[in-house]
Amino acid sequence: MDFPEFFCYVSILACLFPIMVNSIGINYGQIANNLPSPEDVVPLVKSIGATKVKLYDADPRVLKAFANTDVEFMVGLGNEYLDKMRDPTNAQAWVKENIQPHLPATKITSIFVGNEVLTLNDTSLSDCLLPAMQSVHAALLNFGLDKQVTVTTTHSLAILQTSYPPSAGAFREDLMDPLCETLNFHQKTGSPFLINAYPYFAYKGNPEQVPLDFVLFQPNQGVTDPQTHLHYDNMLYAQIDAVYSALASLDYKKLPVHISETGWPSKGDEDEAGATPENAEKYNGNLIKLMSGKTGTPMRPNSDLNIYIFALFNENMKPGPTSERNYGLFKPDGTPAYPLGITPNNVVGRNTTVGGGSFGNAVTNPYYPMSSSTGYMSISSARQRYQLLGHVVLMVPLLIIKTLV
């Protein structure tokens, strides 16, 4: 498809899905050699109603292309920059070069410093995380930008020691010191707590036992938290509430939780159960519909769902299994990777109590792989160095699964 056809198709999409999204976020990865230019991506993002974009670097081409579009941006600083950003002088220079020139035309609202650092089992990185966050925040303060741009970091669900029932959510004891340091930073600066959550991996790890309808937001009997008596009929919402419980146990009840990544692949290898266009359509389509309905989780029904779907495009240069290259809502030519399927009949009804669940205990193992819940690569826009990150899977105990089947 050439670009005149591309824009024609985007126009059709805008007509087909005018009420599809309410303040949804999208992850815009660029590990590919066949993506459209950032200028051509702007109408595509707008066509699906996305109002927030998460970028894995601070690519000036993208930030310039989205100027005056009113789309909010979260930009990233890769793990390879953490040591350098400990130095306030370096952080000041980075903010001056990568953030300040694009404001206020481009609505940069947040910078995430590091990706899932605390679960990488690498003290050389984790020791740098808080100082790097503090230096970037100080730089924003010096430029008078701290009120409009927050500083945060992303976490894998592997930071949880216990995740079922959601009311018993608790963080890993071995991560408590560095985690509490970052939580104090969030509380003081007003920045959100970011979690990457993928029910897909629970299903992939145990497809014979994990009910597919439960992870795809399809009608199912669900489970009830024995402590709170709250009902959960999808896994993602229970994962979110487990995080809320873990935060509350440390007296951070008011800290906002944002889901910085979640998604479902439309294609996978033979051993990647569930990676099909049909399942991706159901997961992302149902999630979008739920978000547009302004429903919170069972534990926080009145809280906004701030969720970034992974990802905008299929990315053909990502290493790893086939699924890694097939998380996109769209192919590089702008056509859908699968029908988005936003119809009332395909979605859990507004009258149904919805939830989600990271069932069981996320047992602390002596070794956690260098990991990202997506296997995404953190990109350095300055040097284009890539760091591959693996997967984290929270499994579902057999006893709990049996209540769902």
**Per residue in 121-169, pLDDT tens?**
999 999 999 999 999 999 999 999 999 999 999 999 999 999 999 999 9
189: buried, middle or exposed (CB in 10 Å: 19+, 13-18, 0-12)? middle
**Could you tell me the CATH number of the domain that includes residue 36?**
3.20.20.80
Give me the pLDDT at residue 355, please: 37
Query: Span 366-372, mean pLDDT?
Result: 28
Distance CA 382, CA 76 (A): 12
Are 343 and 62 in contact by the 8 Å Cβ rule? The answer is: no
Catalytic residue among 116, 272, 281, 315: 116
* Domain boundaries, position 171: 24-330
Reported pTM? 0.83
The answer to whether residue 392 scores a pLDDT higher than 90 is no
Residue 2 lies in a domain: no
Q: Could you confirm whether 116 is annotated as catalytic?
A: yes
Q: Could you confirm whether 270 is annotated as catalytic?
A: no
Residue 298 lies in a domain: yes
Distance CA 312, CA 334 (A): 10
The number of distinct structural domains making up the chain is 1
Location of structure tokens 């009145």? 302
**Side-chain half-sphere exposure of 81, counting CA atoms within 13 A:** 31
Are 375 and 310 in contact by the 8 Å Cβ rule? The answer is: no
Short-list 131, 171, 129, 136, CA closest to 150: 136
Give me the pLDDT at residue 2, please: 56
Distance CA 233, CA 176 (A): 30
Largest distance between two CA atoms of the chain: 57
Residue 12 lies in a domain: no
Query: Span 86-112, mean pLDDT?
Result: 98
Helix axes 123-142, 88-98, angle to 10 degrees: 60
Residue 365 lies in a domain: no
| Highest-confidence segment of 3-12, 201-210, 343-352, 360-369 | 201-210
Catalytic residue among 173, 208, 261, 315: 261
What is the rounded average pLDDT for all residues in the chain?
A: 83
C-alpha dist (Å) from residue 317 to 142, 267, 324: 38, 15, 9
Distance CA 63, CA 376 (A): 21
Q: Tokens for 120?
A: 């990488």
Q: What are phi and psi of 376, to 5 degrees?
A: -75, 160
